[in-house]
Amino acid sequence: MAFAALSACKVGPDFQRPTASVAAHWIDEPSAPLPQDSAAAAWWTLFKDPTLDALIAEAYHNNLSLQIAGARVLEAQAQLKVAIRELFPQTQALGGQIEKQHQSRGTLLSQNLDPDLTTREVGFNLSWELDFWGKFRRGIEADRAAMMASLAAYDSALVSLTAGVANAYLNIRTLQQRIQYATDNVAAQRDSLRIARAQFENGETSELDVQQALTQLSQTEAQIPQLQNALRANQDSLAVLLGTTPDAIDARLGSDDSIPMAPAQVATGMPKDLLRRRPDVRQAELSAAAQSAAIGVAKANLYPSFSLFGSFGFSNSSLNSSNHGLFTWDNHASSAGAAFVMPILNYGRIINSVRVQDAVFEQAVLNYQNVVLQAQQEVEDARSGFAAAQDTLAKLDEADKSARRATELAIVRYKEGASDYTTVLTAQQLQLQIEDALASARGGVPLALVGVYRALGGGWQLRSGQDLLPEAKRKEMEARTYWGGLPESGASLPAIEDDPGEADRDHQ
């Protein structure tokens, strides 16, 4: 009974989720907030753009950074298995040796002895440090939480990946529309230049109008290479996210270059949902859980350790001429015993080691609390940005209609001689600015929505039931190294919403 009580003991703190400051509601949330949108797990489908859906699916399967995160989960799984094996006898060794010696006849007690001595031994050794104070079990807790933290890091990378692909795609569509607007304005300004030249050749205006028209046209044409360079940069970034080369992007984008439309409303749930939904928040919590267990590992070194040891084997030598068989009972040898070690003179060093782990744990707790605050800030900023982008787009839509009409009237008045070319120049410049801003605003609304769902932690659910590495990579690893039951598939891994404390209790 006493042995069972001692073996059930675990020194060190039991981890509890740290308290964190969480707002009761969002700043501009209505009195009856919308529930969390069920589509948040695959929020990109809200844009109803098959090209975007296909790009995110390809990135999920081919992105190399995500695969690196998946390999880290496998590393953590293997490390957890190592920690679990510490509960069993730490030394289990089967050994043997055969030794031949030639002795000097001058050292032999009898000249009748054979100077050639052969010794053979084979045996099994076992050493087992008992987990009286929970050192090994705390180590398992730490490695299990670390494994879950690596899984949360994978999910966080997946959130960033889906948002990154969407951002790159929306930037590409926005730049394509800006280039189209600039190209259309170039065509319109060429018509204006033609009119100015005709007016000048007929003696109706001065050369100043021609030069002003030519200057404006050149300025507009100069903007297009910059936009095209930005477009190429975003396409190259998208290629990296897809795990492919830049020359393969054009075929994946298709011919439809319209900017996807964003829904008018976004359901964000309540701030407390972030504690369950955002992978980086869960990663910070699990890192704190792992460090909490590390305190127990360090504290267990303050107490005496108890070990059992034993050996069994066979041994004989050529001196025993009466028994030539090694595996005979007369040649067997065995030993067994117990030992304990109590730290004394290094007690201060161990205590300070515990203090080190406790200080690191406090850092992890503070980091978790800070991550929670930052998560709320990001959502508030993203929600505000989405609302502002919608308002900006509505105003620019009105301004675009007015600017187009103003340009038409200015050209008519110039043709009729009722105004000089400065009126046309001003109207066209303003129209170009408005149209370019309008294209940016049309892309800004869906980009802002991507920011909202990224801040909410949406997208990691894509891994549900999926393997963390492509099948080809898994087979390559299994061909290189015997993995046994590893690497585990994503389907067998727990969801990040699980309480790390409950996970530990379930495995005990």
Q: In a 10 Å sphere around its CB, with 0-12 CB exposed, 13-18 middle and 19+ buried, how is residue 342 labelled?
A: exposed
pLDDT digits (tens, 9 = 90+) for 167-206: 999 999 999 999 998 998 888 888 888 888 887 888 777 7
Q: Which of the pair, 461 or 323, is modelled with greater confidence?
A: 461
Q: Which helix (H) or strand (E) holds 129?
A: strand 116-129
Decide: 164 and 209 in contact? Cβ < 8 Å.
no
Phi, psi of 337 (to 5 degrees): -175, 180
Q: Token pair 């259309």 is at which residue?
A: 184
pLDDT digits (tens, 9 = 90+) for 93-103: 888 888 887 76
Beta bridge partners of 310: 126, 336
In percent, how much of the chain has pLDDT > 70? 87
Give the pLDDT confidence score for residue 105 in this predicted structure.
62
Q: Which of the pair, 33 or 293, is modelled with greater confidence?
A: 293
Structure tokens at 124: 């099994």
Look up residue 310 and give its amino acid. Answer: G
What is the Cα gyration radius of the chain?
37
| CA–CA distance, 415 with 177 (Å, rounded to integer) | 30
CATH class given for the domain over 2-90+133-303+348-506: mainly alpha
| Least confidently predicted of 263-277, 341-355, 431-445 | 263-277
Give the pLDDT confidence score for residue 373 in this predicted structure.
93
Three-state DSSP at 128 gives: strand
Domain boundaries, the chain: 2-90+133-303+348-506
State the helix-helix crossing angle for 135-201 and 207-242, rounded to 10 degrees: 160
Looking from the CA of 103 toward its CB, the CA atoms found within 13 Å total 17
Structure tokens at 187: 């065509």
Decide: 122 and 326 in contact? Cβ < 8 Å.
yes
pLDDT at residue 106 above 70? no
